[in-house]
Amino acid sequence: MPAIPVTRVRRGAPRPHAGSIRIELASSDDWTALCQLEDASFPGDRISARSWRALLVSLSATVTVARESSSSGSSGRIVGAAVVLQRAGTSVARLYSIAIAAHMRGRGVSAALLEDATQRMRDAGAAVLRLETRVDNMAAQNLFVRSGFVQRGRKMAYYEDGEDALLYQKSLWNLGASERDAALSAPYYGQTLDFTCGPCALLMAMAALDPATPLDRAAEIRVWREATTVFMAAGHGGCGPHGLALAAERRGFRTTVYAPGGKAMFIESVRDVRKKEVIELVEADFRSELASTQSRMVSTSMTAAQLVDCLHQGRVPVVLISLWRLHGEKGPHWVVVTGFDGHVFRILDPMVAPVAGYPPHDHHGGRIPPHHPIRPTAANRRGRHLQGVLNWLPII
């Protein structure tokens, strides 16, 4: 798989800050100073010494400190700290705590720590940074709003003294670093049935190129009826790439399908011999019909670099990924790739509705690091290109 140029900040490197403060990763020896800062900053809901020691060695925690520079060359006193949590395999990070020494408040230290934490999570591939703050903490709320966070809810009696918490989150998609590809204009339409992620993803992709494309339940079910390929262990079947490509072709779009040749897809997950025969028959029929159109079928894998090129050529990728990557469930799942910001692919997930308050370009459900293996499908609306891509990530 070819390399994609990606700018990353070396996690162990200190990040300078204007004046005599520098932002850097905390060390395991900092737990005593962090406890002292915590005790001085909060009257309650404090992080204990035991928890600090655990956080400093945890693979899912990033602890950064604002440290005063020392003329003697020593490490310097800690005057601020931030803790961000992100579990492996998830696209959501949480700002767990941010604390500033009293004599340094109002001097931009909290904003610097927040900016640093945001960038570290973006570098780590997180899609969203979330946090909670007290209803009566107006200074913190103002800081978060200035930093691009939007309020998404409220938790009643969240803190130990009974105070409510306001919930905020920020999209980490770097719009300024991405090109204004056609895919970014894709509108959101959420699936109304468990088995229609493919039809919904295809509808969103077609609507990015033709705004007259209907986005409603009738269209969703109609595409599903045309494109259904596979049996599930129970319930209704889903849609494969060739059936979706045919549905797009019938609506005036040109497709290129990148999918493994030979054996029918998903066949290994089906035990019933009769169901296997039906799947093979349906896919063979889809392939035969698709071969009679102007769409193309490619029996080789699509690389991440090729996917980026497709975006820049004005195509709209429809991608099949592992559901585990986004939702912690096993199974294939269709999404729309809407952009690439140099770090990750941006997607529209039909299972995840946009958050109220986000601008249109942020109505996206998640991010996928480009280094994952890709076995892609791919949709030209008479001069415009709809590229559907099968991106098969290994199911964990």
pLDDT, tens only, 316-368: 888 888 776 556 666 788 888 888 766 667 788 888 755 544 444 444 445 55
Structure-model confidence comparison of residues 31 and 237, the more confident one: 31
Tens-place pLDDT, residues 256-314:
888 776 555 655 666 677 777 777 788 888 888 888 888 888 877 677 777 888 888 88
251: amino acid identity, one letter = R
Torsions phi, psi for 289 (to 5 deg):
-65, -40
Percentages helix, strand, coil for the chain (3-state, rounded to 5) are 35, 20, 45
Structure-model confidence comparison of residues 12 and 30, the more confident one: 30
Say yes or no to pLDDT of 3 above 60.
no
Looking at residues 59-63, what average pLDDT do you find? 93
What is the structure's pLDDT at 137?
92
Cα–Cα distance for residue pair 320/328, rounded to 1 Å: 15
Tens-place pLDDT, residues 378-388:
344 433 444 43
What is the structure's pLDDT at 105?
87
Please report the domains of the chain, with CATH numbers, ordered by start residue: 15-172 (3.40.630.30), 177-368 (3.90.70)
Structure-token match 């905390």, residue found: 26
What is the structure's pLDDT at 271?
67
* Range with the poorest average pLDDT among 64-73, 178-187, 206-215, 368-377: 368-377
Count of C-beta atoms within a 10 Å radius of residue 249: 19
Token pair listed for 358: 């986000």
Q: Which helix (H) or strand (E) holds 141?
A: helix 138-146
Pairing of strands 15-16, 296-298: unpaired
Looking at residues 34-55, what average pLDDT do you find? 90
User: Counting Cβ atoms within 10 Å, is residue 115 exposed (0-12), middle (13-18) or buried (19+)?
Assistant: middle
Q: Could you tell me the pLDDT band of residue 215, with boundaries at 50, 70 and 90?
A: very high
3-state secondary structure of 361: helix
Token pair listed for 258: 């990148």
Cα–Cα distance for residue pair 319/309, rounded to 1 Å: 15
Cα–Cα distance for residue pair 41/87, rounded to 1 Å: 27
Pairing of strands 256-258, 296-298: parallel
Q: How far is CA 311 from CA 58, 202, 206, 393, in A?
A: 37, 15, 14, 19
What is the structure's pLDDT at 26?
92
What is the structure's pLDDT at 340?
77
Tens-place pLDDT, residues 110-141:
999 999 999 998 888 777 899 999 999 999 99
What is the structure's pLDDT at 387?
42
The CA-to-CA distance between both ends of the chain, in Å, stands at 20
Share of the chain above pLDDT 90, in %: 32
What is the structure's pLDDT at 57?
93
Torsions phi, psi for 19 (to 5 deg):
85, -145
Count of C-beta atoms within a 10 Å radius of residue 56: 18
CB neighbour list of residue 246: distance below 8 Å, 6 or more residues apart: 226, 227, 286, 289, 290, 293
